[in-house]
Amino acid sequence: MIVLDMEWNQPLSMDSPLAIKLCTKLPFEIIQIGAVKVETGERFKATCCLQQYRILSPRISKLTGITKQDVRNGETFQDAIVRFREFCGEDPMLLTWGFNDIPILRQNLSFYGLDTQWTNNYYNLQIMFNQQFDPGPVVRGLSFAVEFFQLEVDSSYHDGLNDAAYTAEVAKHLDIPRGIAEYPDYLRHFEGDGDQAFLDCLRYANYTRFESFEDMIADPRIIKTPCPHCGVETTATEPVYPESGRMVWTAKCPEHGEFLIRVGFKRNRDDSMRGNKVIYTMDDAHRQQYAKAVEKASKPRRLKVAPFKLYVDADGCPVINQSLRIAAKRRVESFLICDTAHQLQRHGAETIVVSKGADSADFAIVSRLSPGDLVITQDYGLAAMCLSRKAKVIDQNGMRYTSENIDGLLASRAEAARIRRGGGRLKGPGKRTPEQTEAFTAAFEAMITEAYEDAKSE
């Protein structure tokens, strides 16, 4: 039995292009592996260098005590796994405290094309602790269990090896064979990329990536339901959609009766889909839930749309994804305006392509504007025209264009043009920072809220 604990790095901003690109494949990059063999006390520790998210998150560094120098001198994750597998031996039983370590380990293994099968035999000691010493719905932290058994604390938490060592000491107070025998059935049959505790269900599965909604509902793992008891293919009803992001249906096994299936789904940052599937025994309570879902799905629903629209001057705009995500959440109809040299397609927005010309995109936006509409642009001239149409205008760094500042901005643009015509050189914009994106996000949210308030008052 091997107790495993890991620490991992994450992107500084989940809205950065790199995070959006990797979010469903590698949301967290492992930087430390700690393990202890329960029977012998033999220990393993590895610190890994950063290969994807090259900047160590200050929050992670403060939490774990891992420094930039530590990861700079670390080995690759691939090399650390070779050593760790040698430490584990054949067919290891992995024990963790919590549900995150194994799914994140599997994500990292899959990302680098490494085998994941050796991680299948694992158990969460939290479950065993709750079952044997602390029954109830609360999932206890490691420090609670250490204090519960009055174990000596001589090292800090949130270090891979330290936490593994504490967990190994807690494991010695648990009846592991009993814990395995009583382990919840749905966790034994868990599928997917993460897991969850204390669900009153027969099966639970979580899948973090489908290329589209159509791919998701065509995937046999989602839409087909073998009987949880005997594996026979069930007879299913058509799914109903009682609300956005959820579908529900029933399935029936000739021998073991009826089941309720619920699938929840959301869109990832890169426009792919993620979903979770839960299967319940169809008792009276779940039958009532299904009846309510059918009733709710049968009622016509009016899609509430904002009384204003968003237009993005998309050529060279670095905040397209962030702005569309916020606009979709706030029910704002969105349009991307670009020329033939920069054609863009994004989920949740209509793309308007204009001819390649100096002012083509500007006129395309201005001609469509109504008072109260929203515009994102870096162009002072376009901003001035939009303000004259009583639109609300913001740049990619969160600066609001107003009647008070637009004349000064236009004057600065004219002066810069004069200097360049005279052969002078001006310093260009610096490298974009996460702080600029955060400032834009906050200011854009505030602008939409203001637009709703103005529309309501009118």
pLDDT at 432: 85
Residue 427: predicted pLDDT: 66
Q: Are 157 and 163 in contact (CB under 8 A)?
A: yes
Q: Are 154 and 195 in contact (CB under 8 A)?
A: no
Of 33, 35, 31, the closest CA to residue 1 belongs to 35
Residue 402: CB partners within 8 Å, gap ≥ 6? 387
Residues 6+ apart with CB under 8 A from 275: 206, 207, 210, 216, 222, 263, 264, 265, 266
Q: Find the DSSP H helices in 23-72.
A: 58-64, 68-72
Q: Burial of 329 by CB count in 10 Å (0-12 exposed, 13-18 middle, 19+ buried)?
A: exposed
Choose among 149, 277, 94: nearest CA to 202: 277
With a CB cutoff of 8 Å and minimum separation 6, the contacts of 393 are: 374, 375, 376, 377, 383, 386, 387, 400, 401
Per-residue model confidence as pLDDT tens for the chain (458 residues): 999 999 999 888 776 778 778 877 888 999 999 999 999 999 999 999 999 998 999 989 998 999 999 999 999 999 999 999 999 999 999 999 988 899 899 999 999 999 999 998 999 999 999 889 988 777 788 999 999 999 888 878 888 899 999 999 999 999 999 999 989 888 877 777 666 655 678 888 888 788 888 888 889 999 999 999 998 999 999 999 988 889 999 999 999 999 999 999 988 766 778 889 999 999 999 999 999 999 998 887 665 789 999 999 988 889 998 999 899 888 899 999 988 666 677 877 888 888 776 577 888 899 999 999 999 999 899 999 999 999 999 999 999 999 999 998 888 878 777 766 777 676 666 788 888 999 999 999 999 999 999 988 76
Distance CA 13, CA 16 (A): 5
pLDDT at residue 293, as a whole number = 93
What's the token pair of residue 10?
């994450």
Q: Which of 265, 256, 289, 269 is nearest to 205 (CA)?
A: 265
- Asked if 7 and 135 count as a contact pair (C-beta separation under 8 A), the reply is no
Per-residue pLDDT, 412: 82
State which amino acid sits at residue 33: I
* Residues ≥6 apart with Cβ < 8 Å to 138: 130
pTM of structure:
0.65
Closest CA to 280 of 213, 220, 225: 225
